[in-house]
Structure 1
Amino acid sequence: MKNKKYWWMMLFILLFSTLLVACGNDEEEETTADNNNDPVETEDPQDNEPSTSRLTGAIHSAPTGLFNPIFYTETYENNILSFTHEALVSQNNNLEFIPQLAKDWETNEDQTEITFFLEEDVTWHDGEPFTAHDVVFTYKTIADPEYGPAGGVRTNFVEPLLGYEAYSSGETDEFVGVTADDDHTVTFHFEAPNVNPLYYSSFSIIPEHIFSDIAVADMPSASATLDPGEVIGTGPFAFTDMVEREQYILTSYENYWQGQPKIDEIVWRVVNHSVMTGLLQTGEVDFIADPEGIAAADYETVEGFGNITIVEQADFGYQLMGFKLNHRTSEDVENGVIDPDNWVENEKVADPLVRQAIAQAINRPGFVNGLLYGRGEVINSPIAPQFWAYTDDVNQNEYNPEAAMALLDEAGYVDVTGDGFRETPDGEEWVLNLDYPQGNELRERSAPIIQENLQEVGININLRQPKEFSAYAEELENDDNDMDLYLIGWSLSSTDPDPSGLWNTTAAYNFSRWNNPESVELLQKALAAPEAFEQDYRTAVYHDWQNLFTEDLPAVILYAQNKLYAYNDRLNGVDPLPYSFINNPHEWWIEE
């Protein structure tokens, strides 16, 4: 991928084109939802008449500015795209796939093909009809040879498709992985029987008529990606205006195919985390949702406001401290190449014993109890506990400074100069650089605690000044050559537990540059038919992979915090999903 500032986070990112996304719960306000995710109204004082009101949400960091589903890279942009763009399928509260732009689908006998039958009355925000050709165009763009160099990071959605390798390498100009059978029927063709066809076909769609004349390499800088009024989707709201780094305005799309939204305007305001709850109390902010919601420290305060509903649920994501195990060469960075054969090992954190010692020196339970006020948990695996594939029967790397020091001694890292800090086995100075971004209060508070924990066992930590997230993300992505430890958070896909998008060797988001052949083998094995059609088989393979992760340890999973969404009681129709506060926003309505 091209190393520009077209990057992200989720913190937590990532993932699923919905990616990277988030969490909520099944708590209901004025509506309930059946398994098809269709809201059933129980009371509406406005008798379903459209409201002429404005709803304001708060986020603590401004979006980087890529409002394009195939190029955005962080959750703040996804807060906007969740209102403006849609996919063929969505999910319900049970994480089952349900229709969205596709009203139905069928697979062939060996699951090498899945055919979707599309809704026929869908239009883009500029009035143009949505068709199967838009679906083909979206996936063809992601498979394009220029997609990665332009900054695209979602090739995992196209890699299993028929002919991907030939098309992405430039061997052929014909893309056969997704085909339009007619204007409202589209078929996905896979190289081999696929255990997750709905996952791979669940990416948000972009309009062909807007982007067809724009080279893939130019899409990230195109006005259709960057500018309000130019960003075109099929969702219930259009992105119409912004005051950059201050507020982002979404306007009701009157011809939305599921009915005009009942709220005219939704505004995202960028505000400091420390003042969010005060604005919620005064009514200047109506809701606080992704990426973090309200701070755990503010829970009781907000609960006491009396006019605010709090939704608490375990997050589909986690915070981590990663090890920069390898660095890409400057040439590969410049060319947007991720080639493990060219990686340069970071000797300072190359020993797994050292990484395990560092993990055991960090007081992770202290983060949960102190920073999260108990509203979260320590986890060891990068698979969400909500998934059937998760196991905690792995190497725990529990907080134990004495054991950490013993491991460091065993690895040959001892204090030979008497200054309290350990040297390398060769007697050289050993200093680890720890980098982290601004914008997330918990992460900013975690960094100096980690420094203190590690220095207590004799590890000299150079805690660098935090940087604005876009600058930090660029350094992280480009493998800044003196970065050893980094803090970040990921929002996981709710569609499948497969961790390949973050931890496969060549994954763009594998910022640790973890290169473990056994990991690659297990990740491939977990998706290989026919065995992988059995969930028990996949579960066993993923358990083996999680054990490997906690032993080789490319990152320390610090904690999974609970999401604490909060919204003013004047907002009705809220029905958060397990992974997102935003669900059927066209059904939201305001009681003044």
Structure 2
Amino acid sequence: MILAACNKDGDAKPTDNNEPDSTEVDENKDGDEATDDGPKKGGTITGAMYSAPTGMFNPIFYEEAYEANILDFTHEGLVTQNDKLEFIPSLAEKWELNDDQTEVTFFLKEGVKWHDGEAFTADDVVYTYKAMSDPEYENAGGVRVNYVAPLLGYEAYQSGETDTFEGVVADGDYKVTFKFAEPNVSPLYYASFPIIPEHIFGSMAVKDIPEAAESKEPGKVIGTGPFKFTDMVEREQYILDRNDDYWQGAPLLDSIVWKVIAQSVMIGLLEKGEIDFVASPGGIAPADHDIVADFGNIKIIEQADFGYQLMGFKLNHRTTADVDSGTINPDNWVPNKKLSDPKVRQAIAHAVNRQGLVGSGHGEGLLHGRGQPINSPIAQQMWAYDESAATSYDYDVEKAKSILDELGYVDANGDGFREDPDGNEWVLNLDYPTGNELRERSAPIIQSDLEKAGIKVNLRQPAEMSVYVPGLTNDNTDWDLYLIGWSLSSTDPDPSGLWATRAGYNFSRWNSPTSEELMQKAVKAPEAFDQDFRKEVYAEWQKHFSEELPALLLYAQNSLWAYNDRIQGIKVLPQSMYQDSHEWWVNDAE
């Protein structure tokens, strides 16, 4: 899961009801075909993203999609996925599962080199997972615990009871075994995380890794991927150069340049050829689709997004002491009384016109109909998604008013806004980040919607992601409502990485024993080896989520990716267009 900032650890031709069901690529009239007989070597392409990465380029510590735009080209895992979301080999050439799926052994590709020329081995795999299991990892800001928590001996190692790491074990340079505490229903998912080099980080304390130059500076960030992160003008431009020693063969392109560009000017630069592609997060704005479709040199990929936008409710706040120590301890959380009653949150949900945000096409709504409101926080493409299991909060201002009236939230002083049941002023702070134009525009609309129900909203000044994310994470202040987007994992529907009580990304600080029980039940063998069983449990979890409502899911918009047809070799997956970038080439290379 990635912070979609506002879209690792995010796509379909609209039907009549605007629910995507297949991939659509707009074939433009001119310039679609390559102008020569085959791939050419050389050339540079330029991608655009509308917000700058916050600056963490280490897979085990990065948090948001803009950083992922770099890491997707520089780092790799043992396995990846194909267009059917099936696992296929990457740094591992094959694997074997034992009978009860408590162990999976990977046989690694030989001859793979890190960007600095050192050999990739099983020790790097062991180190990556050992670092994420380290007692210092979470306190240092690491949020990928869900990848390591099921490993054998994790709790004892993470707590410091033992210094022996049992979860991932090397047998020579090119054989490594993942061991799980219990039979695991998705072992390849847990083994899919990008690998970092032991020879770079192994001598560091885990708590020091986030501030190390090797996690932040171009030229020092080392991966195995097809491109090297070589240079940057911070907050403006990020340069990736060809890795000539790439294990699948040297990339055809010389380089990929990422530029940080305001969304309002992207399509003009796309038309002029000053940028070549716009993809994750966000892509081109829905309002610009028809304009871009008329460009003679641009292809559009439209498909259902592997994620969603939400308005979260801060149900609890951490203490300042826990924030300072990096601790996530629900026993210390301070309830946010303004939003503690689920019925209050349900009333707020009825007061937000989500369909109005989406629109129905013909220039209506922020999305112009290219998306849909959803009620379940599981990707629509996943087998576990069950819209019918969740409560649908249709736009109904009168119902919202009625619920609040019954709860004692009434306008006692005649100013048009409701006080709480004790007669105190009831004002909800709404925070949101800059970068995503649709989200920025939705914030005042949501404020207006809620005020129609008598809910006073303090719409605060938006902040850049580099400021917003720490504020969202270090929630020891007065945050009530927040806007965020998530690009979900395409590997498994397990929602615990976002919604488990102790998950770093559980920004709502939702603490539900029922939710915990259901999420654990859905992955516990042997019952969970039956996908139908898991689907039933996740349906129950989706129902519980929508009733408890730690967040109101606003919509899942269609991804609208666009690229200049000078680029050849792009493979479109449900969750990405960055697969096999070493095979990309431009037909005007010299």
**TM range, smaller chain:** over 0.9
Partner of 1:98: 88
Task: State how 1:138-217 maps to structure 2 within 5 Å.
Answer: 138-217=128-207
Conserved? CA contact 2:6–2:433, under 8 Å: no
Partner of 1:59: 49
Which residue type is aligned with residue 9 of structure 1? L
Q: Does 1:387 pair with 2:378?
A: no
Which residue type is aligned with residue 428 of structure 1? N
Conserved? CA contact 1:27–1:576, under 8 Å: no
Partner of 1:495: 491
Partner of 1:33: none
Partner of 1:315: 305
Partner of 1:9: 3
Q: CA deviation at 1:48?
A: 3.8
Partner of 1:3: none
Partner of 1:240: 230
Of 526, 530, 534, the match for 1:538: 534
Q: CA deviation at 1:44?
A: 8.3
Please give the alpha-carbon distance, in whole angstroms, between the structure 2 residues aligned to 1:28 and 1:572: 14
TM-score (norm 1): 0.94
Partner of 2:581: 585
Q: Please give the root-mean-square deviation of Cα atoms over the aligned residues, in Å.
A: 1.6
- 1:164-188 per-position Cα deviation (integer Å, ceiling 9, x unaligned): 1111111111101000011000000
Please give the alpha-carbon distance, in whole angstroms, between the structure 1 residues aligned to 2:216 and 2:243: 19
Task: State how 1:328-477 maps to structure 2 within 5 Å.
Answer: 328-369=318-359, 370-393=365-388, 394-477=390-473
Of 547, 552, 558, the match for 1:551: 547
Q: CA deviation at 1:313?
A: 0.4
* SS of equivalent residue, structure 2 residue 3: coil
Please give the alpha-carbon distance, in whole angstroms, between the structure 2 residues aligned to 1:383 and 1:363: 21
Distance 1:49 1:419, change over 3 A: closer
Q: Does 1:45 pair with 2:40?
A: no
Please give the alpha-carbon distance, in whole angstroms, between the structure 2 residues aligned to 1:515 and 1:106: 37
Please give the alpha-carbon distance, in whole angstroms, between the structure 2 residues aligned to 1:93 and 1:179: 31
Q: CA deviation at 1:121?
A: 1.6
Please give the alpha-carbon distance, in whole angstroms, between the structure 2 residues aligned to 1:140 and 1:283: 45
Q: CA deviation at 1:12?
A: 5.4
Q: CA deviation at 1:481?
A: 2.0
Partner of 2:16: none
Which residue type is aligned with residue 272 of structure 1? A
Please give the alpha-carbon distance, in whole angstroms, between the structure 2 residues aligned to 1:26 and 1:213: 46
- 1:216-267 per-position Cα deviation (integer Å, ceiling 9, x unaligned): 1111111111111101100000000011111000000011010110100100
Please give the alpha-carbon distance, in whole angstroms, between the structure 2 residues aligned to 1:449 and 1:552: 24
Q: CA deviation at 1:335?
A: 1.0
TM-score (norm 2): 0.94
Q: Does 1:118 pair with 2:105?
A: no
Partner of 2:265: 275
Please give the alpha-carbon distance, in whole angstroms, between the structure 1 residues aligned to 2:402 and 2:419: 15
Deviates more, 1:280-289 or 1:210-219: 210-219
Task: State how 1:504-519 maps to structure 2 within 5 Å.
Answer: 504-519=500-515
Please give the alpha-carbon distance, in whole angstroms, between the structure 2 residues aligned to 1:403 and 1:304: 44
Partner of 1:131: 121
* SS of equivalent residue, structure 2 residue 47: strand
Distance 1:29 1:385, change over 3 A: closer
Of 551, 571, 575, the match for 2:571: 575
Conserved? CA contact 1:380–1:550, under 8 Å: yes
Of 50, 75, 79, the match for 2:69: 79
Conserved? CA contact 1:71–1:220, under 8 Å: yes
Q: Does 1:299 pair with 2:295?
A: no
Please give the alpha-carbon distance, in whole angstroms, between the structure 2 residues aligned to 1:331 and 1:274: 41
- 1:444-491 per-position Cα deviation (integer Å, ceiling 9, x unaligned): 100000100000000011111111111111111011421110000111
Q: Does 1:563 pair with 2:553?
A: no
Please give the alpha-carbon distance, in whole angstroms, between the structure 2 residues aligned to 1:258 and 1:122: 9
Please give the alpha-carbon distance, in whole angstroms, between the structure 1 residues aligned to 2:463 and 2:231: 27
Partner of 1:39: none
Please give the alpha-carbon distance, in whole angstroms, between the structure 1 residues aligned to 2:114 and 2:212: 18
Which residue type is aligned with residue 190 of structure 1? F
Please give the alpha-carbon distance, in whole angstroms, between the structure 1 residues aligned to 2:26 and 2:171: 42
Please give the alpha-carbon distance, in whole angstroms, between the structure 1 residues aligned to 2:23 and 2:35: 20
Please give the alpha-carbon distance, in whole angstroms, between the structure 2 residues aligned to 1:201 and 1:46: 40
Distance 1:423 1:311, change over 3 A: same
- 1:141-172 per-position Cα deviation (integer Å, ceiling 9, x unaligned): 00011111111110111100001111111111
Q: CA deviation at 1:54?
A: 0.7
Please give the alpha-carbon distance, in whole angstroms, between the structure 1 residues aligned to 2:108 and 2:171: 11
* SS of equivalent residue, structure 2 residue 146: helix
Which residue type is aligned with residue 483 of structure 2? L
Q: CA deviation at 1:410?
A: 1.3
Q: CA deviation at 1:428?
A: 1.0
Q: What runs of 5+ residues in structure 1 fail to find an aligned partner?
A: 1-6, 31-41
Partner of 1:34: none
Which residue type is aligned with residue 201 of structure 1? A
* SS of equivalent residue, structure 1 residue 567: strand
Q: What runs of 5+ residues in structure 2 fail to find an aligned partner?
A: 13-21, 28-32, 360-364
* SS of equivalent residue, structure 1 residue 581: coil
Which residue type is aligned with residue 464 of structure 1? R
Please give the alpha-carbon distance, in whole angstroms, between the structure 1 residues aligned to 2:462 and 2:105: 48
- Aligned-residue sequence identity (percent) comes to 63
- 1:45-90 per-position Cα deviation (integer Å, ceiling 9, x unaligned): 364442x211000001010011110111110000000000000000
Aligned length: 568
Conserved? CA contact 2:305–2:556, under 8 Å: yes
Please give the alpha-carbon distance, in whole angstroms, between the structure 2 residues aligned to 1:188 and 1:95: 21
Please give the alpha-carbon distance, in whole angstroms, between the structure 2 residues aligned to 1:433 and 1:82: 35
Q: Does 1:524 pair with 2:524?
A: no
